[in-house]
Chain A
Amino acid sequence: MKNASAWFAALGGALVLGTMVWSEVIVQQPDKKEGKVIVTYWEKWTNFEADAMRVVVEEFNRSQDKIYVEYLSVSNVSNKTMLSTAGGIPPDVAGLFGGNIAQYASNGAVMPLDELAKEAGIERQQYIPVYWNMCTYRGKLWALPTTPASTALHYNKGILEEAGLDPNKPPTTIEELDEMDAKILKRDASGKIVKMGFLPTEPGWWPWSWPSFFGGSLWNGYDKITMATPENVRAYEWVRSYTKRYGLGTVQAFQQGFGGFDSPQNGFLDNKLASVIQGVWMYNFITKHNPEMKWAAVPFPHPADRPDKANTTVIDLDVLVIPRGAKHPKEAFEFIKFVQSQKGMELLCLGQKKHSPLIKVSDEFIQAHPNPYVMLFAQQALSVNAASPPKTPIWPQWGDEIKTALEKINTDPNLSVKDALLAVEQKMQIQLDRVLESERKLGILPEDGSRPSEDQL
């Protein structure tokens, strides 16, 4: 009996010990593969976008025999990268969003790339300015682009035709856009909306960008947040006009009928919504889920009284960074350099069906590109009205505040838009002041508080 329980205890102990060892083994990461240094690369993409990057990675892995890049799709990549950098075990390369760079740079979470870029012959002039600009903060280079995006109004010609509109005369002003929506709107017998022309909150990915279309701006680019200018108020009033006109509950029910973005139940792809503001990638989803659709892309409309705001476009950028504490920064940069080459970049951007962030584009790229509107997006990126998110470490939080403010505005027809925006301004101005103060203390900014030159912002 005593023997039996001793055996039992020993067996149990061995099992536990074995499991402990196992729990260590499964988190082990090999450092080398067939004699090559392994570079871990975390990226946000899934599906065909990931496939395109995998092709580039394989191409790079084949091109030399010292480095092996391991591509991993990571959901919620910016948060995960921040956590792992804070935890001291970051990946060697991470694919972040352009809007994250200032926060990462200011916290010392990523490595400056100036030296390495210089050695590799990577220079500002090679890039479309708006994209290069997004990769810098306080005069230093922290990231390099992967795929860029600008946005335009995508519209469904079929729905326009059905509503008796000329499918080749899409709206060019905001007022015409509203008119188009009014003509297309359809309800069923119970009053439920079944079709709409446009809906600013679908998918509502860039809530911060609406002021740009109306000539407003979120800040002075350095130290003063200006959320509640008349232009900004006008922009958000216009966004709210849709729920005001049709009733909040009705619009919400209409929107909840849509499935995930990448699904045939996407409102636009399901022929329920005649137009959306979307990026260059939308082409892929149209071909995937609704190849029959007749569609076109045009610059997003501008207010009739602001013709100077024609060709306003939202700029989005995916970038590569090397987190601080990465084990193989040199090897990681070799890979980044490969992606920045015209060949690597075009392979990637063609695979993802986007335009290239580089100024130089090969003829083959344009000819082989299946998106009939690719040149429109490339030109939009050069527009003087290209709008990118503010470059400041507080942006993730600030952007979130704007998103919430817009949710509040949208769901409360009586809320003063100005007050909602002022609340964001007051809250974020304090944070901005703090950041500037500590950057002055750290010597990143001139101590006398003067505004640094444009290329030092």
Chain B
Amino acid sequence: MAKMGQSERRQALAGVLFAMPYLIGFSVFLAIPLLTSLYNSFTEYSVLREPVWIGVRNYADVFKDELFYKSLGNTLFFAAFSIPLSTIMAIALAMLLNTKVRGQAFYRTFFFLPSLVPAVPMAILWLYLFNGDFGIVNAVLKIPYGALGLEPPNWLSSVDHAKNVLITMSVWTVGNAMIIYLAGLQEIPQQLYEASDLDGASPWQKTKNVTIPLLSPVIMFNVLMGIIGSLQYFTQAYVLFPGGAPARSTYMYSMYIYDTAFRDLRMGYASALGWVMFVIILTLTFTAFRFFDKKVHYEG
């Protein structure tokens, strides 16, 4: 027994040593900054001066701040469309790629390519694709719109359409999720499909009864990551629509935090905004988790 105890102890020591980089990193780059930010959120603070305690004033301000609601609304709008649309697109692509037809290596690369384009070139490209005067999107849309006697919208300067440009972009870059779904699909045992073939199931029934249930853990994972990611959505919007133009219709929550912190140097307020975001993410993730937990099919 004593020997067992010793080996256990040795393993425990090894375990802590192996985990040490992360334990340090966790404290230095996460836990301490997180607590600092919590403290800062109750202060008036710019990095150039010491923080001054002001109690809950920042939080009280947040809930009266029209721009907070505006940017949060924009972000939620973006998330509400981009997450379902990209999920459907990614699963559809993965299912097509999972069929046994020739040339899959090429298609796989084609669908993944857009995800490899860095945000800045992507934004620049998008800016010209959607240009209302000479962009190719409107060059194509002119045909259906023209048939109805309408003009295609000015995507980039229209308050109602600018967000759609960002959503389209997110659907175009589903490569990562698609690959993860594809990997998940390849894990589904072939026998299950063969069994439903024998039952005379239609492709739609097979999708509904076999594919989706077995893929549900992967869907849950991707959707949860999607929620967390899209609430922090920054780069594309920042590059494509500086200042959230037109009329702040594309001003995202993260852009507001960035501007507050590093343009206005109101870092206390920015921290409060950040914590509110954190709480929103926690709530949404938890709700989504509860929702999925009932539906997800766990194997074994």
Direct touching of A and B (C-beta under 8 Å): yes
Binding site for B on A (CB under 8 A): 79, 82-83, 85-87, 103, 107-109, 249, 252-253, 255-257, 324, 394, 396-397, 400, 403-404, 407-408, 411-412, 423, 427, 430, 438
Q: Complex: how many Å from CA A136 to CA B248?
A: 32
Residues of B within 8 A of A404 (CB): 243-244, 247-248
Residues of A within 8 A of B52 (CB): 438
> Which chain B residues in 233-277 approach chain A with CB under 8 Å?
243-248, 262-265
Residues of B within 8 A of A83 (CB): 262
> Which chain B residues in 1-58 approach chain A with CB under 8 Å?
44, 46-49, 52
Given contacts A252-B132, A423-B66, contact A82 B157 (CB under 8 A): no
- Determine whether the beta carbon of B132 is less than 8 Å from that of A438: no
Q: Which stretch from B85-93, B148-156, B280-288 is at the chain A interface?
A: B148-156
- Determine whether the beta carbon of A411 is less than 8 Å from that of B153: no
Q: Complex: how many Å from CA A108 to CA B44?
A: 15
Give 9 new A-B contacts, CB below 8 A, not counting A253-B132, A404-B243, A407-B245: A103-B264, A249-B151, A255-B157, A256-B132, A256-B133, A257-B133, A404-B247, A407-B247, A411-B159
Does B134 sit within 8 A of A, measured CB to CB? yes
Does B205 sit within 8 A of A, measured CB to CB? no
Residues of A within 8 A of B67 (CB): 427
Cβ-neighbour of B66 out of A249, A252, A397, A427 (below 8 A): A427
Does B158 sit within 8 A of A, measured CB to CB? yes
23 contacts between A and B (CB under 8 A): A82-B263, A83-B262, A103-B264, A108-B48, A109-B48, A249-B151, A252-B157, A256-B131, A256-B133, A257-B133, A324-B48, A396-B264, A397-B263, A397-B264, A404-B243, A407-B245, A407-B246, A408-B247, A411-B157, A411-B158, A411-B159, A411-B246, A427-B65
Q: Report the minimal beta-carbon distance from A261 to chain B, rounded to whole angstroms.
A: 14
- Determine whether the beta carbon of A400 is less than 8 Å from that of B66: no
Residues of A within 8 A of B159 (CB): 408, 411-412
Q: Complex: how many Å from CA A26 to CA B243?
A: 32
Q: Complex: how many Å from CA A404 to CA B48?
A: 29
Nearest residue (CB) in B for A397 is B264
Q: Complex: how many Å from CA A108 to CA B244?
A: 29
Closest 6 A-B residue pairs measured CB to CB?
A407-B247, A257-B133, A256-B132, A256-B133, A86-B47, A252-B154
- Determine whether the beta carbon of B48 is less than 8 Å from that of A107: yes
Residues of A within 8 A of B263 (CB): 79, 82, 396-397
Given contacts A107-B46, A256-B154, A256-B157, contact A86 B262 (CB under 8 A): yes
Residues of A within 8 A of B244 (CB): 404
Residues of A within 8 A of B154 (CB): 249, 252-253, 256
Given contacts A256-B133, A256-B157, A257-B133, contact A86 B248 (CB under 8 A): no
- Determine whether the beta carbon of B243 is less than 8 Å from that of A403: yes
Residues of B within 8 A of A423 (CB): 66
Residues of A within 8 A of B151 (CB): 249, 253
Nearest residue (CB) in A for B70 is A404
Q: Complex: how many Å from CA A103 to CA B66?
A: 23
Q: Complex: how many Å from CA A257 to CA B47?
A: 43
- Determine whether the beta carbon of B262 is less than 8 Å from that of A82: yes
> Which chain B residues in 101-134 approach chain A with CB under 8 Å?
131-134
Q: Complex: how many Å from CA A412 to CA B246?
A: 12
Q: Report the minimal beta-carbon distance from A350 to chain B, rounded to whole angstroms.
A: 33
The number of inter-chain residue pairs (CB within 8 angstroms) is 75
- Determine whether the beta carbon of B262 is less than 8 Å from that of A79: yes
Q: Complex: how many Å from CA A71 to CA B154?
A: 40
Q: Report the minimal beta-carbon distance from A141 to chain B, rounded to whole angstroms.
A: 20
- Determine whether the beta carbon of A86 is less than 8 Å from that of B133: no
Q: Complex: how many Å from CA A86 to CA B248?
A: 27
Q: Complex: how many Å from CA A76 to CA B263?
A: 11
Residues of A within 8 A of B247 (CB): 404, 407-408, 411
Q: Complex: how many Å from CA A117 to CA B112?
A: 60
Q: Report the minimal beta-carbon distance from A412 to chain B, rounded to whole angstroms.
A: 8
Q: Report the minimal beta-carbon distance from A253 to chain B, rounded to whole angstroms.
A: 5
Q: Report the minimal beta-carbon distance from A75 to chain B, rounded to whole angstroms.
A: 12
Nearest residue (CB) in B for A325 is B48
Q: Report the minimal beta-carbon distance from A27 to chain B, rounded to whole angstroms.
A: 20
Q: Complex: how many Å from CA A253 to CA B132?
A: 6
- Determine whether the beta carbon of B46 is less than 8 Å from that of A86: yes
Q: Report the minimal beta-carbon distance from A417 to chain B, rounded to whole angstroms.
A: 14
- Determine whether the beta carbon of A253 is less than 8 Å from that of B133: yes
Which of A79, A103, A256, A397: most chain B Cβ within 10 A? A256
Q: Report the minimal beta-carbon distance from A408 to chain B, rounded to whole angstroms.
A: 4
Residues of A within 8 A of B134 (CB): 257
Nearest residue (CB) in B for A257 is B133
Residues of A within 8 A of B44 (CB): 438
- Determine whether the beta carbon of B246 is less than 8 Å from that of A85: no
> Which chain B residues in 64-101 approach chain A with CB under 8 Å?
65-67
Nearest residue (CB) in B for A403 is B243
- Determine whether the beta carbon of B133 is less than 8 Å from that of A108: no
Q: Report the minimal beta-carbon distance from A41 to chain B, rounded to whole angstroms.
A: 21
Q: Report the minimal beta-carbon distance from B294 to chain A, rounded to whole angstroms.
A: 43
Q: Report the minimal beta-carbon distance from B242 to chain A, rounded to whole angstroms.
A: 10
Q: Complex: how many Å from CA A85 to CA B66?
A: 30
Q: Complex: how many Å from CA A252 to CA B152?
A: 12
Q: Complex: how many Å from CA A334 to CA B247?
A: 44
Which of B46, B48, B67, B156: most chain A Cβ within 10 A? B48
- Determine whether the beta carbon of B262 is less than 8 Å from that of A107: no
Q: Complex: how many Å from CA A187 to CA B264?
A: 44
Nearest residue (CB) in B for A76 is B242
Residues of B within 8 A of A407 (CB): 245-248
Q: Report the minimal beta-carbon distance from A190 to chain B, rounded to whole angstroms.
A: 9
Residues of A within 8 A of B248 (CB): 404, 407
Q: Complex: how many Å from CA A413 to CA B246?
A: 15
- Determine whether the beta carbon of A86 is less than 8 Å from that of B48: yes
Residues of A within 8 A of B153 (CB): 249
Q: Report the minimal beta-carbon distance from A100 to chain B, rounded to whole angstroms.
A: 10
Cβ-neighbour of A107 out of B49, B66, B131, B133 (below 8 A): B49
Q: Complex: how many Å from CA A266 to CA B48?
A: 41
Q: Complex: how many Å from CA A143 to CA B144?
A: 57
Nearest residue (CB) in A for B64 is A430
Residues of B within 8 A of A394 (CB): 264
Q: Report the minimal beta-carbon distance from B262 to chain A, rounded to whole angstroms.
A: 6
Q: Complex: how many Å from CA A253 to CA B156?
A: 10
Q: Report the minimal beta-carbon distance from B73 to chain A, rounded to whole angstroms.
A: 15
Q: Complex: how many Å from CA A407 to CA B244?
A: 11
Residues of B within 8 A of A249 (CB): 151, 153-154, 158
Nearest residue (CB) in A for B46 is A107
Given contacts A86-B262, A252-B154, A253-B154, contact A108 B131 (CB under 8 A): no
Q: Report the minimal beta-carbon distance from B212 to chain A, rounded to whole angstroms.
A: 42
Q: Complex: how many Å from CA A256 to CA B155?
A: 10
Nearest residue (CB) in B for A434 is B44
Nearest residue (CB) in A for B57 is A434
